[in-house]
A and B are shown apart, each in its own frame.
Chain A
């Protein structure tokens, strides 16, 4: 094979490897983004369920046992979401920053759901759901941001 042809083959090979590397990088980023969005969606679901359960209980449409069970289940779900977020692979500064924002929002949700659960257990009532609503807003805001940047 002439020397020029060999150089062209090498260039193509290097180009192909770079393309594959870029694709892998993009796909890893996309995968991390999907994981973050999925986790935030689950966190939203857990917080929204807790708010709905407490509202129904306060309006005397639901029983204490059902409300306690919903809060217990949702506490378990949102704690699992936080653990899942911590294991999301970080491959860039942007992903790190997205993950941190998601984690902060989910931690606010964990604190709010656990507090509501404990309050209902000890006082038979949940004084206010402002903390849950604030956590829900925080989660929704990060979720909207991530969906927008997808």
Chain B
């Protein structure tokens, strides 16, 4: 019974923790401009993150070591530094966007400018990392993040024409007044948002933090294969709400506050309050994950002691690094840069960094020296290779599309 409850808790946490500011903003922007015509990208992205996250979790559970440590050991420091550079920079950008997301969500509650909330949000993140147990931190953020189910409730309450939504969701449906290049730019952005690199590093390092072993493989699979797709459905619900309310009025989402309008229309103040709590939890949870991922990647590359399972005094450099990353995030946001723009750019650059993140994971997951009998099967390798081709295409297209479309403007 205890085991079943543990699996259920893991799945619920995975659903609540799946969405971050990148998913929310990109899906709302896409829904308001393209309806559900890019829903297929969310499906492709969710399958991709499932493939690589469960691989990454399995590597950690079987070897007892985080993926990044093994990448450095298996592929050498030169290849690992490429992986590190790409992942770390994207992670830092995502961390900045998430802190901005928490601040924007708090502005929705208080109407006080988000800039004033930025330092408090970052301080809260640091305090939680410093003081709160890993499992408590992860479960609370994930479970409260479940409030985002309110988007699915909102979509049902809006009573949309489901057949019309279904027609929009057919791949290749009309892009309306939008250009084809803009459509593909957002396809790459959505893909990048779904497959953000920090998710796999956090997943594998988190497995080490929680002391997973081979016995936990089923739990790890359940978390990923059930939790992530259900989280992906919430992404689609956000796009659906925007498609039903904002698209017909030619309102393009450029601010988080606009994402609230369909929710208020559907469920009034109660649903609005629920969603805002969910956004605070989801962005705060993602801010915690990206801050920890920043520490994990550098510390694992340099061989420093790392992890929340160690007292901070024993992993001082790991904690100092996270503090520096938070300060850089605060500094960036304080320049007045729009957190939504940071988010949009970060998901596109995520797509650029994807090959450097996922190829090494695939190599390590196929090495019998680390994995023993738990190396990838043929079917999984086949799927992963197809995904590497998609990832490479997205990475190569991302920058040209960014330039051609003026970042989707």
Contacts and interface: CB of A to CB of B under 8 A. Distances in A.
A45 B245 CA distance: 13
A66 B251 contact: no
A65 B250 contact: no
A45 B250 contact: yes
Contact of A77 (B110, B250, B255): B255
Contact of A61 (B249, B254, B258, B268): B268
Contacts of A56: 261, 264-265
Describe A's contact surface by its main secondary structure. Answer: helix
B269 interface: yes
Max chain B C-beta neighbours (<10 A), residue from A49, A68, A74 = A49
Given A68-B111, A69-B108, A69-B111, A62 B254 contact: no
A48 B255 CA distance: 14
Contact of B258 (A38, A41, A49, A63): A49
A99 interface: no
B109 interface: yes
Contact of A44 (B250, B268, B272): B250
A38 B107 CA distance: 28
A14 interface: no
A110 B108 CA distance: 22
B252 A73 contact: no
Contacts of B110: 65
A52 B260 CA distance: 11
A53 interface: yes
A77 B409 CA distance: 13
A42 interface: yes
Interface in B238-287: 245, 249-252, 254-255, 257-258, 260-261, 264-265, 268-269, 272-273
Contacts of A93: none
A45 B186 CA distance: 19
Interface in A43-85: 44-45, 48-49, 52-53, 56, 60-66, 68-70, 73-74, 77
Max chain A C-beta neighbours (<10 A), residue from B108, B110, B254, B409 = B254
Given A41-B250, A61-B264, 11 more contacts: A42-B254, A52-B261, A61-B268, A62-B272, A63-B269, A63-B273, A65-B110, A66-B257, A66-B272, A69-B107, A77-B254
21 contacts: A38-B409, A41-B252, A42-B252, A42-B254, A44-B250, A48-B251, A52-B245, A52-B261, A53-B261, A62-B264, A62-B269, A62-B272, A63-B272, A64-B111, A66-B260, A66-B272, A69-B107, A69-B108, A70-B257, A73-B254, A73-B257
Which are the 3 A-B pairs with shortest beta-carbon distances? A73-B255, A65-B111, A62-B264
